[in-house]
Amino acid sequence: MGQGQADVALATLRECSRNGEWLCLKNLHLVTAWLPLLEKEVNVLRPKSGYRLWLTAEVHPRFTPILLQSSLKITYEAPPGLKRNLLRTYESWTPEQISKGGVLPRAQSLFCLAWFHAVCQERRNFIPQGWTKFYEFSLSDLRAGFEIIDRLFEGGKQFQWEFVRGLLESAIYGGRIDNPSDLRILHSYLEQFFSARLLSSSASAGQRKSRGGPQIFPSQINLPNSCSILDYRSIIENLPEDDRPAFFGLPANIERSSQRIISSQVISQLRVLSRSVATGLKFDRELWSHGLSPILNLWKTLNQDSVLIRQKVDPPTEGQKSPVLSFIALEQFNAIRMVQSIHQSLSALSKVIRGTQLLTPEVQKLASALLNQECPLTWQNKWEGPEDPMQYLRAVVTRAYAIQGWVERAGRDALLSNILDLSELFHPDTFLNALRQETARSMGCSMDSLVFVSSWRSPISQVKLQVKVGGLQLEGCSFDGVHLCENQHDSPSVSAVPPCHMAWVPQVEDFANDLFGLRLRKI
């Protein structure tokens, strides 16, 4: 289905209905506006015995629900794992397609294409370290790549590797990618899998037979020196059932990060399933009391003997303060106001449960979100923190207390001389911008002329205004030359990093060496 196919589809539908034949309409998610017309046509048909209508579509929010309800639904998902993905590809290809013309580089190029397609799809299991988001790489991309390779090998012409890489990167697979980092990853894969050095040549074919053919970097998989589909299936059958991170060019500990993300999603889904859907839609004192008591008790514990709820702080005013001090004053004001706003909303909720206050729409929305284990939108609008409400409350109180320490150190002019932990702030990016503005004032230059540099070896030379930041962590890599055993996170996928000097400096070559203070190596 697509542009201009609606009338043809309806005519074919009527013909198949009269003759008792089968009809398949594909990609209906492309014509969702036309589906009500199809639905009416299906309802008025008087089909002959044996008539069947098959509809295929990807998930789409505007797909007609009545058409879905009246159909027998089958969900088809790609098999998980690199091995099963490759087997699925080679099951869809015939021996004649692989051995066409008896051209060895062509058969090996098709295996590289199948491997590349499988890697692109399976790398989606490691979001955001693999790809930054989920991309719809599908069989249509694989078919398009097959046709390109098939045409370029016709007539014994010299194979144009740059042409293949350009089409796959710019038109087919790369056409779905909108992130510069993901495009660099795709470009790297294409350079590895589609190059002349991977494929056999007549001059060296005899030498490679003893070694089993060239290897696909970095997986160390030997390409067969054969045009037989059975040899390629044999290679696939010998692959391990569990995917190795090296197959994707990822660090060995990437699976720990993936497992944590999946387990968090499962726990979140189980929490939602454990509660009744209608719990938050209407007031039920017993259900609300049982479901909301853990959150109310946690908030009471966090603020026990706390001055944050009763503390009064005047809004920061325009003055002669430095940008950094102005930021800290604003951060303290917003933190206290956030704590007090949350306290007022939870206090109103507690009064409604006890029966001392009437239920309002605001309290209804708050209770509905909390009962569904979701962070209320009114809280997220003030600060976009954790999605779990209990983690959100802990994070808010922890940061509010930490900012009080920032204010105390700033009052003694000892803030920038101590090691700072940016995770204690609600808006660490704003702090770095304030430091940039203060640097520009002290140096008498524009903010646009400053660049951000860092150094782990020593303080940044020739810079007076700089900060030392601690509490940094690296995921999926380790820090060269530093023993981390004493300060290691519980998970081996996360490594602690020593404090780092950071500053804004003029954009000149004198500070180029400080840009390379950090060197990372994959585990």
**Residue 104 CB neighbours (<10 A):** 20
pLDDT of residue 155: 67
Position 226 pLDDT exceeds 50 = yes
The residue ranges of every structural domain in the chain are: 6-69, 82-250, 275-415, 418-523
Question: Mind listing the pLDDT tens digit for each residue in 455-497?
Answer: 888 888 878 888 999 988 876 666 664 444 344 444 456 777 8
pLDDT of residue 379: 92
* Residue range 6-69 in CATH 1.10.260.40: no
311-319 contacts at long range (C-beta below 8 A, 24 or more positions apart): 311/336
pLDDT of residue 63: 85
Which carries the bigger pLDDT value, residue 510 or residue 455? 455
The stretch 329-350 carries a mean pLDDT of 92
Question: Mind listing the pLDDT tens digit for each residue in 252-275?
Answer: 777 777 787 788 888 877 876 766
Position 208 pLDDT exceeds 70 = no
Distance CA 388, CA 267 (A): 11
Handedness of CA 285, 291, 293, 296 (dihedral sign): negative
pLDDT of residue 157: 66
11-18 contacts at long range (C-beta below 8 A, 24 or more positions apart): 13/38, 13/41, 13/42, 13/45, 13/53, 14/41, 14/45, 16/51, 16/53, 17/45, 17/46, 17/47, 17/48, 17/51, 18/47, 18/48
DSSP annotation of 372 reads T
Under DSSP, is residue 505 helix (H, G, I), strand (E, B) or coil?
strand
Which carries the bigger pLDDT value, residue 158 or residue 402? 402
Task: List % helix, strand, coil for the chain (3-state, nearest 5).
Answer: 55, 10, 35
* Nearest in space to 125 (alpha carbons), one of 267, 265, 268, 270: 265
Judged by average pLDDT, the poorest of 17-21, 350-354, 495-499 is: 495-499
Distance CA 49, CA 357 (A): 66
Q: What is the CA radius of gyration of the chain?
A: 31
Q: Which residues pair with 451 in a beta bridge?
A: 505
Cβ contact 271:360 at 8 Å: no
Q: How many angstroms separate the first and last alpha carbons of the chain?
A: 47
pLDDT of residue 484: 40
Under DSSP, is residue 22 helix (H, G, I), strand (E, B) or coil?
strand
* Nearest in space to 235 (alpha carbons), one of 432, 87, 33: 87
How is domain 82-250 classified at the CATH fold level?
A: Helicase, Ruva Protein; domain 3 (1.10.8)
Q: How confident is the model at residue 351 (pLDDT cuts 50, 70, 90)?
A: very high
Position 186 pLDDT exceeds 90 = yes
DSSP 313-326: -PPP--SS--HHHH
* Nearest in space to 423 (alpha carbons), one of 402, 454, 392, 405: 402
CA distances from 484 to 457, 459, 492, 499, 516 (A): 16, 21, 11, 13, 21
Q: Rounded to 5 degrees, what angle do the CA atoms 18, 19, 21 make? A: 115
The stretch 403-410 carries a mean pLDDT of 90
DSSP 482-496: ---GGGB-SSTTEEE
Cβ contact 30:2 at 8 Å: yes
Q: How confident is the model at residue 144 (pLDDT cuts 50, 70, 90)?
A: very high
